[in-house]
């Protein structure tokens, strides 16, 4: 690290769990964030500020007025602009040394196969089961850790699936791809504005823990946050021997 970086990240360097070695890991890391909406808007700025070396931001949507209630990377001036372009401007203002790649397209298996070999960790900040299953399967295939978050109404969920750990379950162990789950959206159900900030910031924190290697990330556990009752619960998740994605490794 140079003198400017030593000063910029000095509060991290004071933490013995991070120190110079941990910060250098962050500076050399590459994070893929899928979704530049509510969750991505909270996770990406903290990762940029924390000193992650490179972020690839993927989203196919454009900024709409209804997004501004919770998607803090975007402003009134961003309406009509692609979310990844708006997000890049926001993140670049936080940290000019950050390398940001943007892809304004819908995530696909082909896209993930091309991106994941160069990525250290993935943040799933999307809002539907089909996409989450697609990302989960690709991360398992390429053995890339996945931080999965979701938020709707007043309820948020968060877990980490670290496929480098042979005991780690995957998203499909909890929600089978064969289940016919009803898709619901913020547009139809509503969402409490700070909820995506809380879950997204936690996703950033989990990513930093996994990248640096300290503490106890939410591997094999799912955190449940209820903003209506201000209540946090946790459930244990085990690998499913019959899982359609990771069960074959038993």
Domain that holds residue 93: 3-249
Say whether 78 sits in a helix, a strand or coil: helix
Looking at the chain, list the stretches that DSSP marks H as alpha helix, in order from N- to C-terminal side. Answer: 3-8, 10-13, 19-27, 38-50, 83-94, 109-115, 129-142, 171-174, 186-189, 193-212
How far apart are alpha carbons 24 and 150 in whole angstroms?
30
Per-residue pLDDT of the chain (250 residues; tens, 9 = 90+): 899 999 999 999 999 999 999 999 999 999 999 999 999 999 999 999 999 999 999 999 999 999 999 999 999 999 999 999 999 999 999 999 999 999 999 999 999 999 999 999 999 999 999 999 999 999 999 999 999 999 999 999 999 999 999 899 999 999 988 776 666 666 668 999 999 999 999 999 999 999 999 999 999 999 999 999 999 999 999 999 999 999 865 4
pTM (global) more than 0.75: yes
Phi/psi of residue 135, each to 5°? -65, -45
How many Cβ atoms sit within 10 Å of the Cβ of residue 99? Answer: 12
- Could you tell me the CATH number of the domain that includes residue 138? 3.40.50.720
Structural domain total, the chain: 1
């Amino acid at each position: 690290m140079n003198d400017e970086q030593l000063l910029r990240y000095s509060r991290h360097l004071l933490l013995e769990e991070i120190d110079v070695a941990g910060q250098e890991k962050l500076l050399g890391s590459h994070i893929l964030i899928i979704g530049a909406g509510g969750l991505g808007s909270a996770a990406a700025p903290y990762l940029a500020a924390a000193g992650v070396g490179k972020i690839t931001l993927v989203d196919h949507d454009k900024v709409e007025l209804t997004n501004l209630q919770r998607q803090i990377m975007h402003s009134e001036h961003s309406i009509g602009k692609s979310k990844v372009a708006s997000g890049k401007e926001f993140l670049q203002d936080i940290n000019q040394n950050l390398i940001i790649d943007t892809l304004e397209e819908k995530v696909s298996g082909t896209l993930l196969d091309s991106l994941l070999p160069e990525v250290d960790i993935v943040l799933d900040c999307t809002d539907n089961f089909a996409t989450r299953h697609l990302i989960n399967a690709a991360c398992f295939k390429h053995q890339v850790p996945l931080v999965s978050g979701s938020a709707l109404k007043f309820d948020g969920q968060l877990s980490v699936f670290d496929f480098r750990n042979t005991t780690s379950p995957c998203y499909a162990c909890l929600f089978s791809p064969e289940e016919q789950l009803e898709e619901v959206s913020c547009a139809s159900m509503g969402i409490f504005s700070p909820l995506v900030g809380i879950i997204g910031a936690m996703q950033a924190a989990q990513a930093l823990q996994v990248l640096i290697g300290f503490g106890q990330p939410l591997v094999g556990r799912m955190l449940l946050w209820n903003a209506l009752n201000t209540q946090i619960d946790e459930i244990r998740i085990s690998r499913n021997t019959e899982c359609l994605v990771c069960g074959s490794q038993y």
